[in-house]
Each structure stands twice: as C-alpha cells, then as structure tokens.
C-alpha cells in the first residue's frame, strides 16, 4: 500500500498510477522550496458495502477554498473524485483485509515555464493508520500551550497570512510538535497572542461543559475542521448543544472533557494541558470515534 502514488495533471485533467518510492517531484516545483500548494487528508473506512470517504465533500470544499486563497486554478471535483476512487481500488486490491486508511491529496503551483506561466501538478497517496494513531485514540494525549504569535481574528485584517487555508507550508506546525515532544508532551495547543485558544498543529479542539459542546471560532485564526463539523452535526443526537466560542486556557483545563479531532486520529481525549489534569469522558470519546469512522 505504501508504494502507491497517483500523479495528477490538472491542466489536462488526467492522472496515472506510479511508484511512490521513485523520483517524481522536480526540485523546481514550487511546493518543494516554497511550500506553494494545498492539501487534504481524508479517512477511508472499509465496510461490507464498500469504502466510505469520511466527510468527502467537506474536504473538497475546503480544498477549493484553499486553492482560491492561494490563487491556484480551481480544482476539478470530477477529476479528484476519480483520483480518490482509483486509489481506493488499488489499496483494496493490494490489501483486501484493510479496515481503514487515509488518502492525502495535494495540488502544487508547479513549475514556471519559459513563457512565465505555471504548470500545476497534483498527487495523491495512501496513508497508514499506524500504532501511534491507535495509541492516541485509546490512551488520549497530553499537550502544552504555545503562543501562535498573532492576535485573534487577525485574518480579517491580514488575508495574506492565509489563515484558514490548508497549505503545504507546515514548517511551523512541525516545529510546534517537536517543541511539545521536547517538553514531554504529545501535542501542542496554539493560543493567540491575546489569549484565545485556537487549535493544535494538526487538529481542532473540542471541549464539553455540561451539555454544551464548544469549539473555537474558525474566524479567530484557525483552520475550519471537517471532523469538528461532522461531530457538531451529531451533537443533538448525543444530547449536546454545539456552539462556537472564544475559549481561554482555563476553560480547557476546567472542562468536563476535551478532545483533539482530525481526520486520521478521529477524536483523542486531551487528558492533560500544561501539567493540569483534564477530566476524561471515555464514553463520549468512543461515540465521537464511532461517528467519525461511520460505525
């Protein structure tokens, strides 16, 4: 499974299956040295009636919004649907017993030709649900809070910061993860310079306060989460009232439950923040995971 790769030519609306381990990307591609591109990661759940791509439309809607924010060509949904479906078929054929896996798909601005025009390039490959992900689902995670370096709601004043676009420029997110690990934590939790809780480097935050399920407002300076919105869709069934709210660190520490939610990890309990234990709602954690995995 790990050797599969689909290369996409968005201009010609074509794609081809190739080998992930072979050289594919020229160093002149702007994704390689400028991070000039976008991506999404979807969870694929395999069942008796075939494959389900979790929040497929939400992911693609965000993919298109990210492309618009970066002035990239508008992605062709029909093309990318065929890419995803073809990759699912290849994975299922290679591993008939597989239960779940991810697909990461990306669009780069590509290379600039002699005529000054750019040649966009796309790709997609499968991502394994590994032991690290399974452990986080089962045991929860700890986190340290980190200053994101800007005030909340700055995106409305500085759209060039691309807040809310899912770009390939993930160096800051990776650095935050390394900082957390160096400080004996599993995750980081970004907080705005004026104290508003935002998100994790690769996940959104949810907290429960009584019968209210709360998450930071995406406009505050974070990526609008597909998994967060899927869970919000089911909040009423769970007996919860879903709301967007400005949260402070103390709100998270005092919560009746807190979770990092993302496509691959589904929902993992945040059991400690900055050395402070947080209540763990195991029943709700399991329900969130079932909802996201479609079970």
- Tens-place pLDDT, residues 184-227: 999 999 999 999 999 999 999 999 999 999 999 999 999 999 99
Kindly report, residue by residue over 243-275, the tens digit of the pLDDT.
999 999 999 999 999 999 999 999 999 999 999
- Could you tell me whether strands 204-209 and 212-215 are parallel, antiparallel, or unpaired per DSSP bridges? antiparallel
Non-local (6+) Cβ contacts of 27 within 8 A are 33
Enter the pTM of the model.
0.94
Cα separation of 106 and 91, whole Å?
18
Mean pLDDT of the chain: 95
Give the percent of the chain with pLDDT over 90: 88
**Structure letter (DSSP) for residue 221:** T
How far apart (Å, rounded) are the C-alpha atoms in residues 254 and 252? 5
Residue with tokens 């965000």: 62
- Widest CA span in the chain: 61
Strands 212-215, 241-244: parallel, antiparallel or unpaired by DSSP? parallel
Q: How far is CA 212 from CA 93, 96, 196, 239, 247, in A?
A: 43, 41, 19, 9, 13
Specify the pLDDT at position 63: 98
**Number of other residues whose CB lies within 10 A of the CB of residue 42:** 23
Residue 23: predicted pLDDT: 85
Q: Are 19 and 85 in contact (CB under 8 A)?
A: no
What's the confidence (pLDDT) of residue 1? 60
pLDDT computed for residue 156 by the predictor: 86
Is the CA virtual torsion 273, 171, 119, 24 positive or negative? negative
d(CA 264, CA 76): 24
Q: How confident is the model at residue 113 (pLDDT cuts 50, 70, 90)?
A: confident
Reduce the DSSP state of residue 27 to 3 states and report it: coil
Find out whether 84 and 42 touch, Cβ atoms under 8 Å: yes
Q: Is the pLDDT of residue 47 over 90?
A: no
Backbone angles phi, psi at 251, to 5 degrees: -60, -40
């Amino acid at each position: 499974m790990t050797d599969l790769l689909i290369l996409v030519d968005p201009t010609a609306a074509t794609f081809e299956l190739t080998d992930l381990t072979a050289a594919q990307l020229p160093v002149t591609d702007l994704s390689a040295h400028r991070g000039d591109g976008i991506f999404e990661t979807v969870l694929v759940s395999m069942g008796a009636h075939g494959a389900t791509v979790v929040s497929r439309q939400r992911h693609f809607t965000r993919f298109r919004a990210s492309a618009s924010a970066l002035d990239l060509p508008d992605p062709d949904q029909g093309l990318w649907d065929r890419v995803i479906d073809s990759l699912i078929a290849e994975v299922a054929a290679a591993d008939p017993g597989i239960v779940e896996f991810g697909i990461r798909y990306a669009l780069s601005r590509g290379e600039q030709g002699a005529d000054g025009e750019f040649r966009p390039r796309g790709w997609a490959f499968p991502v394994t649900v590994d032991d690290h992900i399974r452990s986080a689902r089962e045991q929860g995670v700890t986190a340290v809070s980190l200053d994101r370096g800007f005030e909340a709601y700055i995106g409305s004043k500085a759209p060039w910061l691309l807040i809310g676009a899912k770009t390939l420029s993930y160096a800051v997110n990776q650095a935050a993860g390394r900082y957390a690990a160096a400080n004996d934590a599993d995750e980081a939790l970004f907080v705005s310079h004026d104290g508003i809780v935002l998100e994790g480097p690769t996940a959104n935050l949810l907290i429960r306060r009584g019968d209210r399920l709360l998450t930071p407002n995406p406009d505050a300076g974070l990526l609008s989460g597909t998994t967060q919105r899927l869970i919000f869709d089911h909040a009423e069934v769970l007996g919860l009232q879903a709301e967007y709210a400005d949260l402070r660190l103390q709100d998270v520490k005092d919560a009746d439950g807190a979770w990092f939610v993302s496509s691959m990890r589904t929902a993992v309990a945040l059991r400690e923040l900055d050395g402070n234990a947080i209540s763990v709602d195991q029943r709700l954690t399991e329900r969130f995971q079932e909802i996201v995995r479609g079970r």
